[in-house]
Amino acid sequence: MSSPADRPFRSVLYMPATNERALAKAATLACDAVIVDLEDAVAPEQKSEARKHLKDWFAARAAKPAATIIRINALSSEWGAEDLALARKLEPDGILLPKIDTPRDILEAGDALDDETAPETVKLWAMVETPKAVLNLGAIAELGRDPASRLAGLVAGTNDLAKDTGMLMTPDRRYLLPWLMQIVLAARAGGLVALDGVMNEFRDLHDFGRECTDGAAMGFDGKTLIHPAQIEPANKAFSPSEAAVAEARAIVEAFARPENAGKGVISLEGRMVERLHLMQAERLLGRAMRP
Ligand code: COA
Ligand code: MG
């Protein structure tokens, strides 16, 4: 895997490591990545059973889903070290660290992987789900500028944020918005992938579609999901729309015209278009052409 940002992360589906039926489906689903969970979707008394399922699944799986991320328990918990040791051996595309508070939490996990000489393709992802993590977002995202940190992306942990702050979760997520936007901003500052939090009401695909559109409008690269039915709407919302692709093409074509050669700013259908819009358009077309 080159840079994690080179591949899509529109739909990233959690599966409890204890759910064998879900794991068996993983390779057949159209999600861009799966997160096999050892943390909160697994009860304390099932932790070692979950590790065994995870190990068996890695050994048995014939086809690999687009990207595989393992969510371990916090390194400060009684299960964290053993989870990390196992995850390192399995060499997934990513290891997701829950409940991080500071950059140190990520550096510690990175040091442990380096000590075990884990391949550099094993990236770290960080859940942003504690009040401290939100307050420390700038410093956390800065790690993204140093490839040695392995940090590849930030994942909004909205259920934990609601639990830890007392914030009321409303369908429009109005109280959550400032923190979600901080996550996107930090991810961009650090060159990281930004994933929106889950929607718990997994039967409500109408509201889910709206929540995906909102997340895409905020600038997220994709959304974390809890149910296969959520994959298709997420893939759609986080892919460039036909209208956006047509507009990007028009901008690229306009700048390519001989009369616009060397110009910094041009007029296109009554609108000012600058070279920064050209860069934006080229980036969008790159995303649209990704397999
Ligand atoms: N990944 C893969 N397959 C899944 C899945 C998931 N996250 N969630 C459900 N499925 C499968 C089920 O196994 C079932 O297939 P089967 O009939 O072959 O067993 C099918 O999709 C339909 O499932 P459904 O009956 O609609 O849902 P459910 O009641 O079995 O499960 C949840 C609902 C919420 C318990 C389940 O979706 C889940 O565990 N999601 C992930 C939770 C998680 O990981 N949370 C941690 C992060 S927030
Ligand atoms: Mg959480």
CATH code, 72: 3.20.20.60
78 and 136 co-located in one domain: yes
Report pLDDT for 2: 45
Residue ranges around ligand 1 (CB below 6 Å): 13-16, 19, 21-22, 25, 37, 40-41, 198, 202, 226-228
Q: How many domains does the chain have?
A: 2
Tell me which DSSP letter residue 219 carries: T
The domain in which residue 162 lies consists of: 4-237
Plot region of 270 (φ>0 → left; ψ -120 to 50 → alpha; else → beta)? left
CA–centroid distance, 159 to ligand 2, in Å, is 6
Full DSSP string of 24-41: HHGGGS--SEEEEESSTT
- pTM of the entire structure? 0.95
Pair (226, 263) in one structural domain: no
Question: What pLDDT does 290 receive?
Answer: 82
pLDDT at 62: 73
Q: Which residues surround ligand 2, an ion (CB under 5 A)?
A: 129, 157, 160
Tell me the Cα Rg of the chain: 20
Task: Give phi and psi for 154, each to the nearest 5.
Answer: -115, 140
**Residue ranges, the chain, pLDDT below 70:** 1-5, 65
Q: Tens digit of pLDDT for each residue in 154-203?
A: 999 999 999 999 999 999 999 999 999 999 999 999 999 999 999 999 99
What is the model's pLDDT at position 83? Answer: 98
> Are 65 and 146 members of one domain?
yes
Q: Are residues 207 and 269 in the same domain?
A: no
What 3-state class would DSSP assign to 78? coil
Q: Are residues 73 and 187 both part of a single domain? A: yes
Say if residue 21 is in the same domain as residue 127: yes
Mean pLDDT for the chain overall = 95
